[in-house]
Structures are given as structure tokens and as C-alpha cells.
Amino acid sequence: MTPGFARFLEHYGIVLVVIVMMLVLAAIRPEVFLSAQNLTNILKQNASLALLALGMFVVIVTAGIDLSVGSIMALSMVTLAIASKAGLPWPLVLLIGPAIGIIVGWVNGIGLTVLRLPHSFIMTLGTLNVARGLTFLVTNGAPVSGLQPEVRYLGQAYYSFGLAPPAGLPASLLLVAACAVGLWFFLEHTDMGRHIFAIGGNPQAARVSGINVDRTLVVVYIISGFFAGLSGLLLAGRTDSGFPNAGIGIELDAIAAVIIGGASFFGGRGTVLGVLAGVLIMGILRNGLNINNVSAFWQQILIGLVIIVAVYVDVLRRQAAVRT
């Protein structure tokens, strides 16, 4: 294998996996998989997960983890749903979800850096339970429905570009694309973005080189919280409700998508494109199993195996890097 081809696979191999999966499913069930409605559903159903995964990616780059994102998403959903039902102006309602995420993310970052907890697992496990408890507390465990049309827009609208429904692009996809481009620019073309990768590569060396590690980590968890809050806004719009059970376990899907997309649990590596590809792999895999009537229990088993293989590949890649 030539060095150039090896570099190509390193950067774009995960995209090739997505293409191969789509070709296989298109060959097996073309009339179902390639339908405009099915492709649109894949994009809409995985938009919230994509936003969570983008935020989780920034945390994993620093060799951390954020277990609270699913609870942040639910708390954001029910809070904005209550505000919308109470008749607050819709521009304010739209800001509530991301604002909740920023606040909880800031708490995660401050708790991790000020309390000097041994790992972000501990802090975010705590806020997972606190945020989930608040979600049930403010709703009494009951869903809140009846959102304003403007609040539902991002989750339900799509642009047909003159095509017959349901063809077209969901508005949620355009939001994910804008967030992905913005995050890519932040990580690749700003000092703070480079500091985030440096901390993941070697936090001690980053500290010695003059990087304010604590401040950077606070920013990292604020970013993760922001994307979780935005994800809550998107899911609330799609379902026209805020329900307290939303997002239970979805943090594990976000972690899986990031790792499948080529990021490393050891920190310091990964790409935004890889994360989006990881989300698509999980979404296409679930969709393909569904349209082929595979049991939900087998789906869990297969997705678990995919995650194990992805982590094992990351371990092998790290061992190869150490040897060289």
C-alpha cells in the first residue's frame, strides 16, 4: 500500500464505508431503501444524534467523556416546551434549549476543573442524574405538547426545491451541516481549536507550553452542552412535544458514532467529517435492519459488535503509532 493511498484511507475510509453500506442496501431492497421518503427519514431521524455527536466529539478529543448530553437534551426539550405553551415569544423559546445546554455544560466544566475530579465520567454522571431529575420534576413525568409553529419549524420543515413531497432536504439537515462547518472551522482554524487537540494529545505538555488547560476544558463542555440543547430544540420540533423520557441512553449512541467515525478514546485525533459518517453508519445500519425486518434484539447485538470492532481498530492504530 502506497503512503498516499494509506493517507487517503486514513482520512476518507469511513466515508467509503458509508457508500458501500448504501450500495449494499440499495441492491437488496432498492424499492424501499432508495425511496425519497426513506432517505429523508434517515436524515431527519438522525439529525438530533448528529448534533449530540458533534458536541461529544469535542469532549472525546480531550480524552474526556460527557454522559450528561441525553439528560441535557431532555431538560432543554421540556423547558422550551413549557415556555412555548405558556406563550413566551418564540424567539425567546428558541434560545431556551441552547441556553440550558450552555449552563449545564458550564457546570460540568467548572466541576471538573475546580473540584479536580479524577475523570469527567464522574462529573457528567452526576449531572446526568441531576438534569434528568429536574426534567421529571418540572413536568411531573408527563409530556408537554403544543409548541408554536416557529418552534416546530427546524424539526419538521423541509425544502423541496420544486420536487414532489416527500423529496427534498429537511431543515434539520441544513442546521446540522451549518453546525458541522462551524465546528470544523473552530477546531481547525482557531487557537482554541488547536489547544483542544493539544490537550487530548498530551495535557501535561499542553500545560507546560502555556495553554490554559482548565479554561479550555470549560469551553469544551460548554460546546458539548450547547449542541445537546440544540439537539433538544430539534427533537422537540420534530415531535411537537417535550417528554421527560427523551434521550435516555442516547449519550451511548453519540459516543459510539464518534468512535465509529474514527476518533480516539485516548484523545487528540478525529475529524468532523468522520463523526458525521459515524452517525450515518449507525442510522443506515438501523434503517437497513428495519426494512429487512430484523429483530430489534438482533439490532442491539449487531450495533454492539460494530462498536467493539471500532474501538479495537482504534487500539490497533494506537499500537501501530507507538511502534513507529
Q: Kindly state whether residue 12 falls inside one of the protein's structural domains.
A: no
Question: Look-up: residue for cell 448504501?
Answer: 22
Q: How far apart are CA 286 and CA 299, in angstroms?
A: 7
Report residue 89 as a C-alpha cell.
415569544
Residue 220 lies in a domain: yes
| Domain housing 122 | 45-323
Tell which residue, 289, 291, 313, has the closest CA to residue 301.
Answer: 289
Buried b or exposed e, range 112-150, using 16+ CB within 10 angstroms: bbeeeeeebeebbebbbeebbebbeeebeeebbeebbee
Q: Judge whether 85 lies within some domain.
A: yes
Question: How many folded domains does the chain comprise?
Answer: 1
Q: Full-prediction pTM beyond 0.85?
A: yes
- In this structure, is residue 169 part of a structural domain? yes
pLDDT the model gives residue 117: 86
Q: What count of residues does the chain have?
A: 324
Cis (ω within 30 of 0) for the bond into 166?
A: yes
- Per the DSSP assignment, residues forming a β-bridge with 211 are none
Can you say whether the dihedral through the CA atoms of 180, 181, 184, 186 is positive or negative? negative
Does residue 1 form part of some domain? no
User: Per-10-residue mean pLDDT for the chain, 324 residues long?
Assistant: 62 80 89 87 92 97 96 96 94 96 97 90 95 95 92 88 67 95 96 95 90 96 98 94 92 92 87 94 91 86 83 72 61
The reported pLDDT for the residue numbered 164 is 58
Check residue 321 and give its pLDDT. Answer: 61
40 and 242 Cβ atoms separated by less than 8 Å = no
Is residue 167 a part of any domain in this protein? yes
Beta bridge partners of 144: 242
Q: Flag whether 307 is in a domain.
A: yes
**CATH number assigned to the domain comprising residue 97:** 1.10.3470
Indicate the residue type of 109.
G
Q: Residue 166's pLDDT is what?
A: 57
Instruction: Give the DSSP per-residue string, 131-192.
Output: HHHHHHHHHTT--EE---HHHHHHHH-EE-TTPPTT-SEEHHHHHHHHHHHHHHHHHHHSHH
The DSSP H or E segment spanning 242 is strand 241-242
In a domain, 31, yes or no: no
